[in-house]
Amino acid sequence: MKDASGANVGKFVDPKVTADGSARATVALTKPETLWFNTGTLCNITCANCYIESSPDNDALVYMTADEVSGYLDQLADRQWGVREIGFTGGEPFMNPEMVEMARRCLERGYEVLILTNAMRPMMRPKVRQGLMALRAGYGDRLTLRVSLDHWRPSMHDQERGTGTWERTLEGMRWLRDNGFRMAVAARTLWGEPEAEARAGFARLFADEGLAIDAMNPGETVLFPEMDMGAEVPEITTACWGILNKRPDSVMCASSRMVVKRRGAKAPAVLACTLLPYDPQFELGETLAEAERDVALNHPHCAKFCVLGGASCSA
């Protein structure tokens, strides 16, 4: 049921029970694999559908520092989470003046590092490129840059990110290609294109550009669904796991957490999910120890994006 604005009514209110009184599903941190850091919400562009509302003016999440990252790496060692990968997202991570140093500190401790970037002007500054080259020389393919390329057609990408952004992103990708960096791509399914058609389009683009990215591999070419807050989605109950034949440990909050620093906050905070940076119920505390508690799936994104993926809870 929705109200006049299209919002879900009576749903996603109580973290313990759904609107019909059923026990709400929760997810435990059972297999930590990735710790994310949001480097800050500032970005060099303003996209039409940015889930975190990044822009040249939005500093709701301020720049993370290398020393703050090191503090959480120490906590990872103390808590023995067994994390394999450190991820950096934004905003545009290369807006942060300490991005290269943050990556270096993670790599030197043996982690794989994933940086999400639009590969545009912030990444292409001479000092940043010099720093990236040093990381590439020292750590090779343990560093991956996942480039936001919304569509294989320039016109569709530019529709989301602004006129001329596709070509500027391709310029950055060509530089990464020519210097031997490991790359992946993050695209969108905003236009309702069949997945097979989208992957075929990216495969042609990658072949034409000589990019060593597998368009058919969901880990190298990630197609993200849009997160429509007005969409009608079912709540996830404890019974849904059996109905869907899905395991709780397959959901993102079973394997990851994200660290952010809010404007005006004394210290960073750890969130349950990379997709919900502004919802206070998903802020778990300042430390990794506090962030080890279970997460209630009390948000439409939990259902549509993470659990269902097009499936239905109906028996």
pLDDT tens, position by position, 135-190: 999 999 999 999 999 999 999 999 999 999 999 999 999 999 999 999 999 999 88
What was the pLDDT predicted at 309?
Answer: 65
Q: CA angle, 88 as apex, 15 and 276 as ends, to 5°?
A: 20
Pairing relationship of beta strands 269-271 and 283-285 according to DSSP bridges: antiparallel
Torsion (CA) 230, 232, 237, 243 in degrees, nearest 10: -140
Examine the pLDDT at 4 and tell me if it is beyond 70: no
Examine the pLDDT at 315 and tell me if it is beyond 70: no
| 230: CB partners within 8 A, 6+ apart | 2, 5, 6, 7
Tell me the torsion sign for CA atoms 137, 142, 147, 148: negative
pLDDT tens, position by position, 231-245: 788 999 999 999 999
Distance, in Å, from the CA atom of 28 to the CA atom of 296, rounded to the nearest integer, reads 9
Examine the pLDDT at 228 and tell me if it is beyond 70: no
What was the pLDDT predicted at 2?
Answer: 44
Examine the pLDDT at 7 and tell me if it is beyond 60: no
**Nearest one of 287, 297, 290, 194 to 238, comparing CA atoms:** 297
What was the pLDDT predicted at 192?
Answer: 86
pLDDT tens, position by position, 266-298: 999 999 999 899 999 999 999 999 999 999 999
Q: Which CATH number fits domain 31-225+252-296: 3.20.20.70, 3.40.1190.20, 3.40.50.620, 3.30.930.10?
A: 3.20.20.70
Indicate the average pLDDT of the chain: 92
pLDDT tens, position by position, 204-213: 999 999 999 9
3-state DSSP helix/strand/coil % of the chain, to nearest 5:
35, 20, 45
Domain boundaries, the chain: 31-225+252-296
Which residues, in sequence order, are bridge partners of residue 260? 269
**pLDDT band at 9; cut points 50, 70, 90:** low
